[in-house]
DNA sequence: GCCAACGTTGGC
DNA sequence: GCCAACGTTGGC
């Protein structure tokens, strides 16, 4: 099956790409996603080996900072069952989990980030979900053309 | 810290 | 099933 491309947002203050670098096996479980569209992408479309841009949101400046790879297919997010967690969801049950997430592994950190301003400046990236007005989706698909363009800029 | 855009919840 | 109220995201 063809590899798909994605973009995943994280606020560096809660989890940065440096945190991922320092994590055991440079791998992390992408828990805490509580948006159905984002969940559906992880749960139903992401496959092991898919690659994702790691995007720092709410950062100075915001931008793409690296690439991660899907290391494990989606499974139920345990934080939804944990009453101590801020991600606890009373409407979720073990029999009927609501929230799923994948594991990702660090692939590379770019020497310099590609900032949101830069991304906006390229006509080649027109139509990219990230750049659409009002787009807040934290997990989003990236077209192969856009993926190739960005990785070429950063190579 | 502000606030626009968006998603979710719950009363009716 | 509508929609107002509320909460969240995320750039600025």
**Nucleotide nearest to A120 in CA–C1' terms:** C11
For chain A, the average pLDDT equals 94
Q: Which residue has the tokens 């509580």?
A: A34
| pLDDT for residue A122 | 96
DSSP assigned state of A139: E
Element (H, E) at A124: none
Please tell me the distance from the alpha carbon of residue A53 to that of residue A40, in angstroms, as a whole number: 18
| pLDDT for residue A58 | 95
CB-CB contact of A51 with A61 (8 Å): no
pLDDT band at A154 (very low <50, low <70, confident <90, very high): confident
Please tell me the distance from the alpha carbon of residue A128 to that of residue A140, in angstroms, as a whole number: 10
CB-CB contact of A89 with A80 (8 Å): yes
Q: pTM of this prediction?
A: 0.94
Provide the percentage of residues in chain A whose pLDDT is more than 70: 99
Dihedral in degrees, nearest 10, Cα atoms A19, A20, A21, A24: 110
Q: How far is the CA of A87 from the C1' of B8 (A)?
A: 15
**Nucleotide nearest to A115 in CA–C1' terms:** C11
Q: Which residue minimizes Cα–C1' distance to C9?
A: A136
Q: How far is the CA of A9 from the C1' of B10 (A)?
A: 30
CB-CB contact of A80 with A33 (8 Å): no
Nucleotides of chain C touched by protein CB (<7 A): 8-12
Per-residue pLDDT reduced to its tens digit, A99-146: 999 999 999 999 999 999 999 999 999 999 999 988 899 999 999 999
Q: Is the pLDDT of residue A155 over 80?
A: no
CB proximity A24–strand B (7 Å threshold): no
Name A136's Cβ contacts closer than 8 Å, sequence gap at least 6: none
Name A51's Cβ contacts closer than 8 Å, sequence gap at least 6: A3, A5, A6, A67, A68, A69, A70, A107, A147
Per-residue pLDDT reduced to its tens digit, A21-35: 999 999 999 999 999
CB proximity A120–strand B (7 Å threshold): no
């Amino acid at each position: 099956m063809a590899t798909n491309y994605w973009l995943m947002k994280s606020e560096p203050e809660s989890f940065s790409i440096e945190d991922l670098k320092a994590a055991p096996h440079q791998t992390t479980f992408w828990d805490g996603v509580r948006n159905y569209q984002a969940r559906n992408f992880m749960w139903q479309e992401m496959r092991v080996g898919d690659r994702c841009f790691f995007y720092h949101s709410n950062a100075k400046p915001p931008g793409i900072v690296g690439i991660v790879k899907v290391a494990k297919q989606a499974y139920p997010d345990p934080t939804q069952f944990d009453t101590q967690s801020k991600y606890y969801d009373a409407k979720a049950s073990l029999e009927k989990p609501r929230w799923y997430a994948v594991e990702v592994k660090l692939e590379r950190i770019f020497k310099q980030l590609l900032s949101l301003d830069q991304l906006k400046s390229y006509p080649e990236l027109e139509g990219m979900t990230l750049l659409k007005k009002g787009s807040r989706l934290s997990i989003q698909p990236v077209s192969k053309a856009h993926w190739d363009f960005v990785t070429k800029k950063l190579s």
